Amino acid sequence: MLQAALAGAVAGYAIAIPVGAIAVLIIHTSLTSGLRAGLAAGAGTATADGIYATIAAFAGAGVAAFIGPIVAPLRVVGGIVLVLIGVYGLMTAWQGRDRDTGAHMPAHRAHGRTYVAVLTLTLLNPATVIYFAALTVGLPFLGDLGDRLVFAAAAFVASLSWQSLLAAFGAALGRGAGHRLRVPTAILGNFIVIALGLLVLAGTLTPPAAS
């Protein structure tokens, strides 16, 4: 089981650490809405990674073969969602530019919605399950139920630790920005989220190069 735990931790960090649209979204959420909101966003991403790690550990290449043909449509949906999140964030930041900084989102419901939204957005990236499936195919020691559960749990914990670090980083930036820079920072962050969404859409619409 130690091998399975180490493999899961490495897999979790390998899929979590590369900075992409979701990482930027977690940092931006924490920067503009506080550490708890950022942690909720990070937990959503880690939950999705844990779900996909579990699916891959138990189903392996079969799931990858099934999901492969629908990767592009799901990425289109993910890109659109990112753009909508950015546009909504811009509208919210602009409308709240003259309000007191204490007027943050009320706690629990907002954080719950953040968790569900980021979980859903991360699940729209099936490349994650293909990554985990490709990895588990090459791990013959994932033989019994215990090893597979340990692998998935370790991947979840690794992802959660990294996403929490991103949330803490965003919160530190938010505290350093202060009142005057909070709205400009929020606007810039939402523009970055929109740009990342457009890049995702552009990547799905670009025809593959001829071999």
Average pLDDT of the segment spanning 166-180: 76
Average pLDDT of the segment spanning 72-77: 72
* DSSP secondary structure string for all residues of the chain: -HHHHHHHHHHHHHHHSS--HHHHHHHHHHHHH-HHHHHHHHHHHHHHHHHHHHHHHHHTHHHHHHHGGGHHHHHHHHHHHHHHHHHHHHHHHHHTTTS-TT-PPPHHHHHHHHHHHHHHHHHT-THHHHHHHHHHHT-TT--SHHHHHHHHHHHHHHHHHHHHHHHHHHHHHHHHHHHHHHHHHHHHHHHHHHHHHHHHHHHHHSPPPP-
Residue 37's pLDDT band (cuts 50, 70, 90): very high
Whole-number pLDDT of residue 96: 59
Whole-number pLDDT of residue 163: 94
- The answer to whether the pTM exceeds 0.75 is no
Whole-number pLDDT of residue 170: 87
Whole-number pLDDT of residue 70: 65
State yes or no: pLDDT of 18 exceeds 80: no
Average pLDDT of the segment spanning 87-107: 58
pLDDT digits (tens, 9 = 90+) for 145-169: 888 889 889 999 999 999 999 999 9
Residue 19's pLDDT band (cuts 50, 70, 90): low
Percent of the chain with pLDDT over 70: 67
Average pLDDT of the segment spanning 112-124: 86
